[in-house]
Copies of this chain bind each other. A is one copy, B any other.
Amino acid sequence: MPTIAVENYLKHTLLLAERSRDGLVPMGELASAVAVVPGTATTMVKSLADAGLVVHQPRRGLRLTAEGRRVALNVLRKHRLVETFLVNVLKMDWAQVHTEAEQLEHAISDAVLDRLDALLGHPATDPHGDPIPSVEGALSSAVYATLATCATNVSQRVVRVTDQSADFLTLAEAHGLRPGAAARVVDRNLPAGLVTLRHSRGKRFALSLAAAGRIWVAPAETA
């Protein structure tokens, strides 16, 4: 059984690798993701490499092996299903569940996970719109536009909110920006770094370009 620390390093390696085309994760990024000093990450990565979970290219970065990816996906699946459970069944605030799931993902067995998955109706995404890896280890990675890049003055549907901080999620919710909700960009001021949106009931509000980039959208179905 991998330890909690090992599971965390692998999970963050997976998440960081997703957002970097060559899949090579720099040591420093991993260190700050798992909140340790760089030297600690180096030490740990060497031992993960010895265990065959990652490949370490000194001074360049690391990538998951097939086995490391399998473990990481299992942890991610637990994390996201637990989040879904906490929001859908226990009715907890979506801004808090990330922290809770961070602990539970390491304590839940595969047997419990399967029951939970069935109870929730085999969901494809968690409450933030993040895809839930399948039991077989498939992880959908569709490419979406964001509020920072989508067409303006076209009705969009929020599909994913890629920020786990409670503050951001609370803000997003206050503006009705939950997965499934409608949104429309009415103006985008690049020099000012501002995106202006209009909510369904006509209200306008602004987000920074950085914040807008964390909200993924798809053109609304006009069927």
Interface residues of A (CB under 8 A from B): 86, 89-92, 96, 100, 103-104, 106-109, 111-112, 115-116, 119
**Cross-chain contact of A100 among B86, B100, B111, B119 (Cβ < 8 A):** B111
A92 touches B111 (CB 8 A): yes
Whether A115 touches B100, Cβ cut-off 8 Å, given contacts A106-B107, A107-B106, A107-B107, is: no
- The 5 A-B residue pairs with the shortest CB-CB distance in the complex, in nearest-first order: A107-B107, A90-B115, A103-B107, A104-B107, A100-B112
B90 touches A116 (CB 8 A): yes
A112 touches B86 (CB 8 A): yes
Residues of chain B contacted by A90 (CB below 8 angstroms): 112, 115-116, 119
B89 touches A111 (CB 8 A): no
Residues of chain B contacted by A107 (CB below 8 angstroms): 103-104, 106-108
A108, closest chain B residue (CB): B104
Residues of chain B contacted by A119 (CB below 8 angstroms): 89-90
Residues of chain B contacted by A106 (CB below 8 angstroms): 107
**Cross-chain contact of A92 among B100, B103, B108, B112 (Cβ < 8 A):** B112
A100 touches B109 (CB 8 A): yes
A91 touches B115 (CB 8 A): yes
Q: How far, in whole Å, are A109 and B104 apart by their CA atoms in the complex?
A: 9
- 7 example contacts (A-B, Cβ-Cβ < 8 A) are as follows A90-B119, A100-B112, A103-B107, A104-B104, A104-B112, A106-B107, A107-B107
A105, closest chain B residue (CB): B107
A116, closest chain B residue (CB): B90
Residues of chain B contacted by A89 (CB below 8 angstroms): 119
Q: How far, in whole Å, are A101 and B112 apart by their CA atoms in the complex?
A: 10
Name the residue in A100, A111, A115, A119 with the highest tally of chain B Cβ atoms < 10 Å from its Cβ.
A111
Q: How far, in whole Å, are A106 and B107 apart by their CA atoms in the complex?
A: 8
